[in-house]
């Protein structure tokens, strides 16, 4: 195709967008509304995924060491575990450190713990993280079996971690299904709106066909129109979603009480949201216009 022709297609597309300004406005609004829902949804999806992976990280095995074994043996076990391909990380937490952490957690009630330093009832602990969080339970069993004498108790927050892992998988599936459904709904809405613009111009198409314009020559301006509508439709929702998210993040950041409720930072999330939302807008715009014009090109 000649550059001159492409230039003409762009000119025609923009002329038609301006000429059918109300129709354009309606189509862009329809895209905006659906993309706004999509954008909000996307932010939620990213954050739920982020939180789930954070929770996955926190699921660790705590192996209480027998008080009889000495530092050399501890080092030895630690080295062996580090070689295990299933293991991601091993941390030694001494009983002094353990008590310190407990005091921090208890905060104002820490006087209950006073005097325990002398006769610390806590065991030394090895904190082990599995490479694959799903394998935590299997790894815990393995450790129990391998060190029956050195390790008194292996604890991996059984029920809790399992439930967390299930929840995060469930949330991911929900995100996928709901997201797909929403995208289809948006595409349907947009294709209907673009059908209106094409309907308003069916005479033009009829004449183009009569004077011998090829099908692609007829399609191109509508193709571009759809893409531009999609792009324009993405501007408002991207702005609203990012500004809104920014506000939410700064409120939660200011109020430390919610610090366990860790949200993703603005960067690079804003890039993903803007990119994905705009891309989806263009995609459904183009798809919608191609679907709608199909029936006008039948001979």
Partner 1 sequence: MIEMHDVYKVYPNGVKALNGINTKIDQGEFVYVVGPSGAGKSTFIKLMYREEKPTHGVILINGVNVKRVRDWKIPYLRRNIGVVFQDYKLLPNMTAYENVAFAMEAVEAPRRKIRRRVQEVLELVGLYDRMNALPSQLSGGEQQRVSIARAMVNNPNFVIADEPTGNLDPENSWDIMYLLEEINSRGTTVVMATHNREIVNTMRKRVIAVEQGVIVRDEQGGEYGYED
The one among 92, 217, 272, 287 contacting partner 1 by CB under 8 A? 217
* 8 A C-beta contact, residue 223 and residue 240: no
C-beta of 217 vs 272, nearer to partner 1: 217
With the C-alpha atoms ordered 28, 31, 36, 39, is the resulting torsion angle positive or negative?
negative
How many contiguous H segments (helices) and E segments (strands) does the chain have?
9, 4
Q: Which listed range, 90-98, 191-199, 207-215, 233-241, lies at the site for partner 1 (CB under 8 A)? A: 207-215
* 8 A C-beta contact, residue 179 and residue 280: no
User: How many C-beta atoms lie closer than 10 Å to residue 148's C-beta?
Assistant: 9
Size of the residue set binding partner 1 (CB under 8 A) = 21
C-beta of 4 vs 119, nearer to partner 1: 4
The one among 171, 204, 235, 266 contacting partner 1 by CB under 8 A? 204
The one among 89, 117, 206, 253 contacting partner 1 by CB under 8 A? 206
Residues 6+ apart with CB under 8 A from 45: 175, 179
Q: Which of residues 236-275 bind partner 1 (CB under 8 A)?
A: none
C-beta of 19 vs 141, nearer to partner 1: 19
Under rule CB under 8 A, residue 4 binds partner 1: yes
Decide: residue 247, CB within 10 A, 0-12 exposed, 13-18 middle, 19+ buried: exposed
User: How many C-beta atoms lie closer than 10 Å to residue 71's C-beta?
Assistant: 10
The one among 203, 256, 259, 267 contacting partner 1 by CB under 8 A? 203
What gap in Å lies between CA 166 and CA 294, rounded to an integer?
45
C-beta of 2 vs 118, nearer to partner 1: 2
Under rule CB under 8 A, residue 5 binds partner 1: yes
* 8 A C-beta contact, residue 225 and residue 21: no
Give me the residues paired with residue 61 across strands: 128
C-beta of 22 vs 260, nearer to partner 1: 22
C-beta of 184 vs 200, nearer to partner 1: 200
Q: Enumerate binding residues for partner 1 (CB under 8 A).
A: 1-2, 4-5, 8, 19, 203-204, 206-215, 217, 298-299
């Amino acid at each position: 195709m000649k550059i001159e022709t492409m230039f003409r297609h762009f000119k025609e597309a923009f002329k038609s967008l301006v000429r059918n300004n109300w129709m354009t406005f309606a189509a862009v609004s329809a895209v905006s509304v659906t993309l706004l829902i999509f954008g909000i949804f996307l932010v939620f999806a990213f954050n739920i995924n982020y939180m789930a992976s954070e929770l996955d990280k926190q699921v660790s095995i705590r192996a209480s060491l027998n008080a009889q074994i000495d530092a050399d043996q501890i080092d030895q076990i630690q080295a062996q575990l580090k070689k295990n391909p299933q293991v991601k990380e091993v941390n030694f937490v001494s009983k002094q450190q353990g008590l310190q952490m407990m005091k921090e957690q208890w905060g104002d009630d820490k006087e209950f713990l006073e005097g325990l330093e002398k006769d610390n009832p806590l065991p030394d602990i090895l904190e082990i993280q599995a490479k694959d969080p799903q394998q935590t339970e299997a790894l815990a069993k393995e450790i129990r079996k391998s060190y029956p004498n050195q390790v008194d108790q292996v604890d991996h927050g059984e029920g809790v971690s399992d439930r967390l892992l299930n929840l995060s998988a469930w949330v991911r599936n929900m995100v996928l299904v709901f997201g797909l459904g929403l995208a289809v709904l948006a595409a349907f809405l947009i294709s209907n709106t673009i059908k209106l613009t094409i309907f308003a111009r069916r005479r033009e198409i009829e004449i183009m066909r009569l004077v011998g314009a090829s099908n692609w020559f007829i399609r191109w301006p509508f193709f571009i129109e759809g893409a531009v509508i999609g792009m324009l439709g993405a501007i408002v929702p991207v702005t609203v979603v990012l500004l809104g998210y920014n506000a939410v993040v700064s409120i939660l950041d200011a109020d430390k009480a919610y610090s366990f409720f860790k949200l993703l930072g603005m960067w690079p999330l804003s890039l993903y949201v803007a990119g994905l939302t705009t891309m989806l807008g263009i995609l459904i715009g183009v798809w919608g216009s191609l679907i709608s014009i199909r029936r006008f090109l039948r001979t």
